[in-house]
Chains A and B, each alone.
Chain A
């Protein structure tokens, strides 16, 4: 076995073994030790994999199944076991849908296993740069979230279960993005489904249980679409290897596997019309939300779309539908986010929107758009994790997640406020990483002018709901004694995890040139002509340039420089103007939320309806083409 293979195996096997250890020992001390050491291992292994691939100038690493010999049969057994477990869960929950979907999955898996003589039809794992990016995100961001959770969940009575599920989640996610064989991928796809089900329902309240059930129904439905697609792929393409997906001449029924896999990806990524499970999952503890939204789960869907992008690009009869689903998700979610005052719900809608943008990029199908999608995926996960963890820390102090309750948080919780501020500006404003992708998307969308209207309104909405929130956080009157960054009583564990993410979000934006060159471009170059040139200072496309470094410098000077220069004297401080009235620090404020709950419910129904139509069209088009 080569070093790369060992690292790949470590990346998914170690967390899974760790999960077993945590379950077996059942003690807080042991849990903390295991989680912390596995986090370190994951970070080291993922960075090691990066270095290993870099040393061979990012050549694609292909791992055959026989190299991992005992693993193949074990995994097929696990595959059958897991789908069986889902049937049982469906039985226990008295849900025909869950049991039915799981039963179909079980039968198809058995059939496929016999069909392929219990062997893989292609290489078991293919590690290219896309997989590498995903592994880095899952291992590093996921580890940070797990460490944060050690503190957040310290008083939870069922900690071992929680951390076992978390570790299994990370392992499953790593394995899923490394897998090339559809049956392997299917197993780990199901592992993430199981873990999200367990974690969402962790608190055991009525709301949590129904949210977990909903998540299971939708993602298991997606899994059914996935396994049907795998079967069809075997029939049509003669292989279940993602590598062997045809990139030309796709027509008629041959499009069906792609369409079904896209639908499966939509369920995982919670795009319209499947967004409801992610919104419901907000009842779970904050680290779970962070895990679902940034490090694992939803990324898997868009990862699959990006993985299939070479095929989708050539499937011109369905790719516009993919981009419309993405675009519609983006627009609807930003509009709905503007109407929400619960911070986690706002973030949830914004996740749906960003993933929609990535799906849209794949649908637009130009190399530029796909590059933009990967950039967005990369930077989104860091910033979103930062936002969620900050909200969690704020909630511990305020006892609320409502935006209006965060009024003036800058004076009481400066560290968390700084984290939120950096999270928001790295998501929305230039010149940070996500902005770079927004700029590329806008340029790329001109090949599909309908989309620019969705984008225009969506981007403005993004500004509105994020800055309404951060404005509340930053508001402060002329109070004399306040907590400074240094004296902030925030627990040290939070400071370190939030700090790491802040440094990551800003630092990687500074390094966007190298990130693009070493992480993203090798994947694009495998399949397309390179659309972007970069040196360390600027990005260039065929239609524009973006002097990243100049603007980063400018932003740095502006915020840090001004903050240091501006030191008003005591006599300059005045009272806020209120027509001469004196008022205490407290006054009732309420931001503009545009609509009532009833209208929001209607809006959700409407956008779900549009989503269902688009998804139906996505499945119908291959059938229609076949008939014609």
Chain B
């Protein structure tokens, strides 16, 4: 690997979560505009992180911090593996480990809201993880699990798989109707409730890395031989998906955890199945 590509990869690993931070700011702005408000500046998430880092730390026990740090490092490792063109499946499992670490952080603080939040986060994992796993296996079936070997054409062969990534992102972005784990105003902020100050910032940045990985998965669906078109198309696709989740967030109310799991395990898994079946039928030349 030549040095330039190496530097580019390192840059992407650093810039991708920052881009996610920016995207979250854009998200807050768009949401505000949809509600006829002015909304915060687009760089608001960075102000928040900066502020949190400057707060005095407060915690229940040190395990919380260990798990928040572990979540951050695992998510960063998953993203690094993804950017370096590594194995998608491994990256997925590593990212899943990061998500689990957050749950453990929530559980390790003995507090009622945190406990409920941890339980709900596990339910959310039960809802989105199978769909994400199947989406990745579908991509693997189409070509390779190695990100560096995945070419174009996914958008045409697996459109329904892309569609199932939308509800997955709705859960991960903590948006209605599937913001069950954090459920603001109901169980405060669920798994994050006992985190404060710098530790909350660590947990939040871990989430940015996780989102960067999943958005990265979305960008795989667009590919062009021209690098400029390719990058522009990837960004546009990611933005479209983000916009759809924002619209969904603003027109729905929170559903129960049971309905979330049922929806994801029927509609989500079903869409992947239909996509693979159609693909099989078309490839066999029935039509």
Contact = CB atoms under 8 A, between A and B. Distances in A.
B62 A563 contact: yes
Which of B57, B145, B188 has the most chain A CB atoms inside 10 A of its CB?
B145
B61 A435 contact: no
A471 B107 contact: yes
A476 B110 contact: yes
B100 A592 contact: no
Contact of B94 (A472, A551, A572, A575): A551
Interface in B96-154: 96-97, 100, 103-104, 106-115, 118-120, 122-123, 125-126, 129-131, 133-134, 137, 140-141, 144-146
Contacts of A439: 87, 89-90, 93
A547 B107 contact: no
A544 B90 CA distance: 9
B62 A576 contact: no
A449 B6 CA distance: 36
18 contacts: A438-B93, A445-B137, A446-B140, A456-B134, A456-B269, A464-B123, A467-B103, A471-B122, A474-B63, A477-B111, A544-B145, A562-B69, A568-B59, A572-B56, A576-B109, A577-B111, A578-B112, A585-B110
Interface string B257-287: 1000000010001001100100000000000
Interface residues of A, number: 61
Contact of A568 (B62, B112, B137): B62
Nearest to A557: B73
Contact of B100 (A463, A554, A558, A559): A463
Interface in A429-450: 429-430, 435, 438-439, 442-443, 445-446, 449
A377 to B, nearest CB: 20
Nearest to B276: A449
Nearest to A478: B60
B82 interface: no
Contacts of B126: 338, 460-461, 463-464
B204 interface: no
5 cross-chain pairs, A with B, having the tightest CB-CB distances, nearest first:
A471-B107, A576-B111, A544-B87, A477-B110, A456-B130
Given A456-B134, A589-B115, A547 B65 contact: no
A445 B138 CA distance: 11
Main secondary structure of the interface of A (DSSP, over half): helix
B194 A576 contact: yes
Contact of B60 (A455, A464, A573): A573
A563 B69 CA distance: 10
B255 interface: no
Main secondary structure of the interface of B (DSSP, over half): helix
Given A468-B122, A567-B62, A592-B119, 9 more contacts: A453-B134, A457-B265, A463-B100, A463-B122, A467-B100, A468-B119, A471-B104, A476-B63, A546-B87
B20 interface: no
B269 to A, nearest CB: 6
B222 interface: no
Contacts of B58: 572, 574
Contacts of A598: none
A573 B74 CA distance: 26
A567 B63 CA distance: 10
A173 to B, nearest CB: 33
A69 B121 CA distance: 63
A95 interface: no
Contact of B146 (A460, A543, A568): A543
A475 interface: yes
A566 B65 CA distance: 7
A476 B64 CA distance: 10
B162 interface: no
A468 B100 CA distance: 10
Contacts of B188: 577
Contacts of B112: 576, 578, 587, 589
A89 B73 CA distance: 59
B138 to A, nearest CB: 8
Interface in B53-80: 56-63, 65-66, 69-70, 73-74, 77
Given A430-B94, A453-B134, A562-B65, A475 B129 contact: no
Contacts of A576: 60, 109-112, 114, 194
Interface string B214-227: 00000000000000
Contacts of A562: 65-66, 69-70
Contacts of B66: 558-559, 562-563, 566
A478 B63 CA distance: 11
Nearest to A465: B122
A155 to B, nearest CB: 34
Contacts of A408: 110
Contacts of A546: 87, 90
A579 B174 CA distance: 22
B233 interface: no
